[in-house]
Amino acid sequence: MIYLDNAASSHPKPDAVYRASDLALRIGANPGRSGHIGALQAARIIHDAREEIAKLLNAPDSARVIFTQNATHAINLALKGFLKAGDHVVTSTMEHNSVTRPLHALSQDGVAVTAVSGGAGGVIDPQKIEDAIGPRTRLVALTHASNVTGALLDLDAVGEICGRRGVELFLDASQTAGAVPINVAASKVSMLAAPGHKGLLGPQGTGFLYVAPGISLTPLMEGGTGFLSESREMPEELPERLEAGTMNTPGIAGLLAGVEHILTRTVENIREHELAITRHILENYRKVDGLLEYGPADPEKRVAVFSFNLGERDGAHVGYVLDEIYKIAVRVGLHCAPDAHKTLGTFPRGSVRASFGPFSTIDDAKTLLAAFGEIAKIK
Ligand SMILES: Cc1ncc(COP(=O)(O)O)c(C=O)c1O
């Protein structure tokens, strides 16, 4: 099987990830709840994972890395914890439903939402973001890279605009954490949400929200934190304020191993590797009769996520043939981003998405294009 669905969840993981989750499961104890050796070992795992994630993002304080179940949980925590009735938020039409739906729910409660339309290839124009900022705008909420076209946000330009206009910046790094170098301090990112199970190579059931100093969020949930138990209120301290209940220690142990793998290989190396695959696809896909691709033509302006359509062929059928005959795993449909497909003119049809990861090869890309070529010839 050639796995080209890394934008949904990365596969395979480094061996160390499987081993680390297994070990944590065997330690078994609850981190931060007791003082015995197992509890301390578990707490050390969680602490180290925060530290390594902070290192990866150049975040100033690892206590501001909040563990969540996935990116969606982190996004909900950020948006619902920050925005209040009367606020205005600027977003885009290229967002995943994990941003669009919480913002829709907030709009029912008095938050004004402006969605700036993505341009060709799904690229978001920073000037349009600036033009949409008004006196009540408190937040700009954008994806760092589209999960449909791979288009990368000009993060430094948007960060500069937000800093100058006194607006906070929320970044959905679901398609970039671990795949593209990120420096939250330099790019003036106020909050960053990421899954642990995609580019960070951790297990499913993991994710996190980074919250910059000065940003205060209302918790999504209240519950046990292992300290200040006498109070009915959640503690003020991070990360506990935003982390109620027992942590996913086996998942976070795997995530720690995934992030360590990335820090050793380096994000720059992974980015170069994925850029080589991207260049190969962009230089060759037009050789396949009728093959359309919707992302930016410049490999530097995107990640290794490709939305294809093969003439008028049904995407579900193309995906089925890729899976059954060619043993290539892709994803078809709307990819939880209907507005992105409306922006690209591919709604409701959607596309056949192939997404590459750090263990993908140029041969995988060649095999995919050859398979498209053969499918294109079938009458
Ligand atoms: C851009 C983007 N945001 C958010 C998500 C949601 O991630 P999760 O499934 O970890 O909640 C995804 C997942 O595909 C995504 O691609």
In this prediction, residue 374 has a pLDDT band, given cuts at 50, 70 and 90, of very high
Q: Say how many Å lie between the CA of residue 305 and the centre of ligand 1.
A: 13
Residue 379 above 80 pLDDT? no
Average pLDDT over residues 276-301: 98
Q: Say how many Å lie between the CA of residue 311 and the centre of ligand 1.
A: 28
Q: Which atom of ligand 1 is nearest to the CA of 145?
A: 1
pLDDT tens per residue, range 194-204: 999 999 999 99
Q: Say how many Å lie between the CA of residue 79 and the centre of ligand 1.
A: 15
Pocket test for ligand 1, best of 94, 97, 204, 336 (most atoms within 8 A of CB): 336
HEC per residue, the chain: CEECECCCCCCCCCHHHHHHHHHHHHHCCCCCCCCCHHHHHHHHHHHHHHHHHHHHHCCCCHHHEEEECCHHHHHHHHHHHHCCCCCEEEEECCCCHHHHHHHHHHHHCCCEEEEECCCHHHCCCHHHHHHHCCCCEEEEEEECECCCCCEECCHHHHHHHHHHHCCEEEEECCCCCCCCCCCCCCCCCCEEEEECCCCCCCCCCCEEEEECCCCCCCCCCCCCCCCCCCCCCCCCCCCHHHCCCCCCHHHHHHHHHHHHHHHHHCHHHHHHHHHHHHHHHHHHHHHCCCEEECCCCCHHHECCEEEEEECCCCHHHHHHHHHHCCCEECEEECCCCHHHHHHHCCCCCCEEEEECCCCCCHHHHHHHHHHHHHHHHCC
> Average pLDDT over the chain, rounded to whole?
97
Is 360:367 a contact under the CB 8 Å cutoff?
no
Residue 32 above 90 pLDDT? no
Average pLDDT over residues 69-76: 98
Q: Which atom of ligand 1 is nearest to the CA of 95?
A: 1
Any residues with Cβ below 6 Å from ligand 1, and which?
A: 7-8, 70-72, 96, 98, 143, 147, 172, 174-175, 195, 207
Average pLDDT over residues 243-253: 97
Q: Say how many Å lie between the CA of residue 78 and the centre of ligand 1.
A: 14
Residue nearest to ligand 1 atom 8, measured at CA = 71
Q: Say how many Å lie between the CA of residue 71 and the centre of ligand 1.
A: 6
pLDDT at 241: 97
Q: Say how many Å lie between the CA of residue 209 and the centre of ligand 1.
A: 13
- Amino acid, single-letter form, for residue 307: S
Instruction: Show the tokens assigned to 249.
Output: 């220690």
Q: Which atom of ligand 1 is nearest to the CA of 196?
A: 10
| All domains in the chain, ordered by first residue | 2-9+266-377 (3.90.1150.10), 15-265 (3.40.640.10)
Pocket test for ligand 1, best of 76, 91, 175 (most atoms within 8 A of CB): 175
Residue nearest to ligand 1 atom 12, measured at CA = 174
The percentage of the chain sitting over the pLDDT mark of 70, rounded to a whole number, equals 100
The percentage of the chain sitting over the pLDDT mark of 90, rounded to a whole number, equals 98
Q: Which atom of ligand 1 is nearest to the CA of 98?
A: 4
pLDDT at 226: 86
Q: Say how many Å lie between the CA of residue 98 and the centre of ligand 1.
A: 7
Residue 327 above 90 pLDDT? yes
pLDDT at 336: 96
Average pLDDT over residues 89-100: 98
Residue 185 above 90 pLDDT? yes
In this prediction, residue 33 has a pLDDT band, given cuts at 50, 70 and 90, of confident
Q: Which atom of ligand 1 is nearest to the CA of 144?
A: 1
pLDDT at 79: 98
Residue 173 above 90 pLDDT? yes
How far, in Å, CA of 305 to CA of 307, rounded? 7
pLDDT at 34: 86
pLDDT tens per residue, range 222-244: 999 988 899 999 999 999 999 99
Residue 45 above 90 pLDDT? yes
Q: Say how many Å lie between the CA of residue 72 and the centre of ligand 1.
A: 6
Pocket test for ligand 1, best of 69, 98, 339 (most atoms within 8 A of CB): 98
pLDDT tens per residue, range 104-115: 999 999 999 999
